[in-house]
Amino acid sequence: MAGRKKVILFLVEGESEQDALVAPFRHYFKERTRVEGEAFRCDVTTVSMFPRSARTFTVRANVKETVRGFVLDRIEQRHTYTWEDLALIVHIVDTDGGFISDDRVLANEGLNGIAYHPDHIEHPRPSGIVERNHVKAKALRALAFAGELVYRKHVVPYRVFFMSRNLEHALFGIDADVDDGMKERLSRAFAEACKENPRMLEEWLCDPEVCVPGDYKETRDYIQKGVHSLERGTNLGLLLDLKTE
């Protein structure tokens, strides 16, 4: 397999993240490495609460094993790359306010669902959101501290990057809920714009309104403090200086 490019595998939550991010990063890294993308089609950090949402993969004993199993299943299905081909696994997650304190989740019986604000969350039954946040925060910490995934003694570096509070918020500055159709249109439009302007991805990731400064550990610690997991931001800019050799 001499000369075969190593693979950076992007793991994302849904189709909108895959449309918006995988193609632009594929173009960005095209001279150095190959980019592949796979979508869980649900939130893997809370899938233990809602196992039926995992329609395309098996929920295992812990979130790290669930992610590892998902990658192995996709390798088996695709037959386009192997575990040994992987140079890095990039896992992009939505924070969804998961690290805020319990007292920042407020009751609002007038709502039909969840409402996100810059410094708190409102919901008709806040106890359910508090429980979700605890599960999500625990899973995110486990993944962020994992560092690597191993299969048959072959170690692959693994890094978690966040979108706060979600893709539409970090990428487009949209606070309100966005339906699936709008998500798809926005994501594809962004990918197309990046294709026409090769510097657009870099410009967005380096925008001070979006970029969370610091190294991997610093940004990982930052997003867990206060209400940062509700504020607009991402640490995806760290990928721009990635060494893939």
Q: Enumerate the domain spans of the chain.
A: 7-97+134-241
- The whole-angstrom separation of Cα 237 and Cα 191 is 16
| Positions in the chain whose pLDDT score sits under 50 | 1-2, 245
For residue range 229-243, list pLDDT tens digits in order.
Answer: 999 999 999 999 875
- The whole-angstrom separation of Cα 80 and Cα 59 is 24
- 26 preceded by a cis bond (ω within 30 of 0): no
Q: pTM for the full model?
A: 0.95
Phi, psi of 199 (to 5 degrees): -90, -5
For residue range 157-201, list pLDDT tens digits in order.
Answer: 999 999 999 999 999 999 988 898 999 999 999 999 998 997 899
* Under 8 Å between Cβ of 86 and 156: yes
* 133 phi-psi bin (left φ>0, alpha ψ -120 to 50, beta other): alpha
- The whole-angstrom separation of Cα 202 and Cα 236 is 10
* Under 8 Å between Cβ of 7 and 33: yes
Residue 54 one-letter amino acid? A
- The whole-angstrom separation of Cα 124 and Cα 94 is 22
